[in-house]
Structure 1
């Protein structure tokens, strides 16, 4: 990771919290540990985090209440419950309050790390590419100016901001298989039916822009997502 993902860890068991924090930091994450729900809520409001790991049974404010508050403030941040409760009704209650997943104590650190990685792939950029200009086949894509230009210097197309956002994401991850939901989370911030239909419109537009260039191909991988093939980038 070029920039460390920030984790808000809320666990009232000091020893478990300290051990979990240490292991997560060893794995390359930046971790803030809070011992009760009220402190965690105040801490959450003061900074930005990439994922929240919440215990359920805590003093002052339990994990369900905290998750509900966090979700009202931010409907995209992943929330993962770490709990000794394994009953179905507890899990259902957690999901109703905004949880994305559960890990039941005692848990393996490897399992926790894998689950964290899954959620962060959906919500953090796959690539920390800082470029704003890309040579895409026979075309120059200027993200800052929202323009596609031919090698001769002639303007090929002017892009909308969202069209440029999507094309930039494809350029940053050229020749990689990208899942449909992955693209939606990174470019639109969420995955739902209507946004998905909107993305399909932009996909069609991007294909049209490069239809005369054999060096560029935006392929649909049915049931999976897309792959942006570029022989020169």
Structure 2
């Protein structure tokens, strides 16, 4: 991993913020520490970090609101949420907003560092200059767009693009649920599985103009893109 990777850390607990900052800096990361959401948004726009680590409960602008605003401008930057909230709906909301990972407090620094490194690696993997054909749809993975015939292009989110990429590469075959959860979400636990179901539903809607294209649920195994 590039040791100069920059991390925007938004954490309003001063002691925890400094611990995380110092731990990441000892691993070679550049860390931009902010203590509220408004400041974090400003630093994001000015500094263009490579990954965001956002506390959910922050003054002035909470982590979810901050992530929503950033996702309007950037669908690709990895986002990790840090939170003491553990309700299923909170976890699902975090992923639906566009978060890539969700770490519950208290957590170990080693676990956070592993997750940051994994997400940074994913951003450089699977890059391809080729456009992928899905029936009459054209899927541009690098640009994260989906176009049906000559209609306007639809912009996909970072996670939608990566999930669709794997479905297309394995079309007419079962995409193992546990494998893709571990690859894109970091684990195959219940919360991540619920999140993936949400993204599958979104992709089905975006592909619904062509009846011959289906994403079916193979119970107990995973999903299959039929084309």
- The answer to whether the superposition gives a TM-score over 0.5 is yes
**Correspondence for 2:41:** 41
- Is this contact kept in 2: 1:83–1:104, CA < 8 A? yes
Shift of 1:196: 7.0
Shift of 1:27: 1.1
**Correspondence for 1:79:** 79
- Corresponding pairs, count: 149
Deviations 1:13-43 (A, max 9, x none): 0110011000001011111000000000011
- Is this contact kept in 1: 2:36–2:58, CA < 8 A? yes
Once residues 21 and 141 of structure 2 are traced to their aligned partners in structure 1, the CA distance between those partners, rounded to angstroms, is 27
SS of 1:162's equivalent? Answer: coil
2:158 aligned with 1:191: no
Shift of 1:54: 0.4
Once residues 143 and 71 of structure 2 are traced to their aligned partners in structure 1, the CA distance between those partners, rounded to angstroms, is 20
Shift of 1:186: 7.6
- TM-score w.r.t. the length of structure 2 is 0.57
**Correspondence for 1:112:** 112
Deviations 1:172-191 (A, max 9, x none): xxxxxxxxxxxx97897842
Structure 1 unaligned segments of length 5 or more: list them.
Answer: 127-160, 164-183, 201-221, 225-233
- TM-score w.r.t. the length of structure 1 is 0.56
SS of 1:64's equivalent? Answer: helix
SS of 1:191's equivalent? Answer: helix
**Correspondence for 1:143:** none
Deviations 1:149-186 (A, max 9, x none): xxxxxxxxxxxx936xxxxxxxxxxxxxxxxxxxx978
- Is this contact kept in 1: 2:129–2:142, CA < 8 A? no
Once residues 96 and 67 of structure 2 are traced to their aligned partners in structure 1, the CA distance between those partners, rounded to angstroms, is 10
Once residues 185 and 122 of structure 1 are traced to their aligned partners in structure 2, the CA distance between those partners, rounded to angstroms, is 13
SS of 2:82's equivalent? Answer: strand
**Correspondence for 1:32:** 32
Shift of 1:124: 3.6
Once residues 185 and 17 of structure 1 are traced to their aligned partners in structure 2, the CA distance between those partners, rounded to angstroms, is 35
Structure 2 unaligned segments of length 5 or more: list them.
Answer: 131-139, 145-157, 180-227
Runs of 4+ in structure 1 displaced over 4 angstroms? 184-190, 194-197
Are residues 96 and 192 of structure 1, via their aligned partners in 2, closer, same or farther at CA, if it must alter by over 3 Å?
closer
Where do 1:28-177 residues align within 5 Å? 28-124=28-124, 162=129
